[in-house]
Amino acid sequence: MPYANSVPHMGVDEHGLKVLSTAKEHGTTPEVYLDGLIPKWLDFCSKFRIDHDFFYRTSSKEHHSSAQRIWEICDGKGDIYKKHYEGLYCVGCEEFELHNAVYVINEMVSLGNQHIHEKEPWKQKPEDAEVTLNNVSYLLLVASELYEPVIPDGAQKAIEAIKSKEKVILFPRI
């Protein structure tokens, strides 16, 4: 990869959601949009005497062959984990907001704890306690399903336990 060790990295990425959205706003494709932007960017760099060894585009043949080579090396070492993932995604940051997702799930579980303390099912009639505990059980089921991308094995055990309504030890002592 000729640009991996050059400073600074200079180039454009046709594959981000920000570029796709902006290109669509301008009624064009990311490639065509960036074709118009590159001369302006290079002019800016020239005016401020910003130099570069290599200007890359993620759509170029060179970038594709380098990326494929890196993929093959990582795949050969077993470092590639393929799985469909859905979650909170920040287009501006171009990253999944996993920490925010976990925070939101924890807040939801905290509301479940608050519900138990307010309802005090241990002081209720059995039929009322059953409703309270079923509501909390449903909340735990939803929380477990939401946690699945983060802790797949533990979440799956929790989901199975809640659905079976059997007493299952999820995290036995070691």
Which of 52, 76, 100 terminates a domain? The answer is 76
Mean of the pLDDT values across residues 34-58?
87
Contact at 8 Å (CB) between 96 and 89?
yes
pLDDT at 68 (0 to 100): 94
pLDDT at 35 (0 to 100): 94
DSSP strand pairing (89-90 vs 10-12): unpaired
Mean pLDDT (the chain) is 83
Confidence of residue 150 (pLDDT cuts 50, 70, 90): confident
Same domain, 66 and 125: no
For the chain, what is the domain count? 2
The answer to whether residue 171 is domain-embedded is no
Task: Give the residue carrying structure tokens 């594709």.
Answer: 64
Same domain, 137 and 112: yes
Confidence of residue 13 (pLDDT cuts 50, 70, 90): confident
% of the chain at pLDDT higher than 70: 87
Pick 109 or 85 by higher pLDDT.
109
In the predicted structure, residue 42 carries a pLDDT above the cut 50: yes
Which of 21, 44, 76 terminates a domain? The answer is 76
pLDDT at 24 (0 to 100): 95
Q: What is the pLDDT of residues 117-148, one digit of tens each?
A: 898 888 988 888 888 888 888 888 899 888 88
Alpha helix ranges (H) inside 77-151 = 98-119, 126-147
Q: Which structural domain, as residue segments, surrounds residue 39?
A: 10-76
48-86 burial, b at 16+ Cβ within 10 Å, e below that, comes to eeeeeeebbbbeeeebeebeeeeeeeeeeeeeeeeeeee
Q: What is the pLDDT of residues 68-103, one digit of tens each?
A: 999 999 999 888 878 777 766 777 777 777 777 788
User: Which residues are bridge partners to 96 per DSSP?
Assistant: 89
